[in-house]
Amino acid sequence: MCNEYEECADHVLVDCPYVRKVFEGLSRWCSVNTEDFHTVKDVVDSVSQRGMCHNRRSKILLAVYYGALWSIWKSRNERVFKKNRIPPDKVNDTIKSVTYLWVKNRGKLDKIN
C-alpha cells in the first residue's frame, strides 16, 4: 500500500503506515488500543480473547475487527487493480458501514444504532 515494503499479509493488513492510520481511527472510534497490533496473528489473538467474552461490546468489537480486515483488504485490491487510493478515513467509514450491516443483519444482538 505504501510501496516501501514487501507486500505480505502482516504488512498489507496490519503494519503498513497506511493501515496504521486506519487502526488509529478505529482506536478513536472504539476506545481500544491497537498500537500493539503488528501482525494478523495479533489481531486474531485479540479477536479470540474477545470471543470468549459474551458481553455486547465484545461481540460488536469482533465484527469491527473482522470488518476492518475485510475493508483494508478491499482497499488494497482497489489500489492494486484499479489504481484508486482510498484515504484511510474513508476506509474507516467503510468499516463502520460494514460492521453496522453485519451486526444488524447477521448478528444475534437485538439493537444497534
Which residues, 14 to 53, sit near Zn ion by CB under 5 A?
16
Rounded CA-CA distance 57/73 in Å is 24
**Beta carbon nearer to Zn ion, 60 or 68:** 68
**Beta carbon nearer to Zn ion, 1 or 26:** 1
> Does residue 63 belong to the site contacting Zn ion (CB under 5 A)?
no
Q: Which residue has the cell 498489507?
A: 12
> Does residue 2 belong to the site contacting Zn ion (CB under 5 A)?
yes
Rounded CA-CA distance 111/7 in Å is 39
In the chain, the amino acid numbered 21 is: K
Give contact residues for Zn ion (rule: CB under 5 A).
1-2, 16
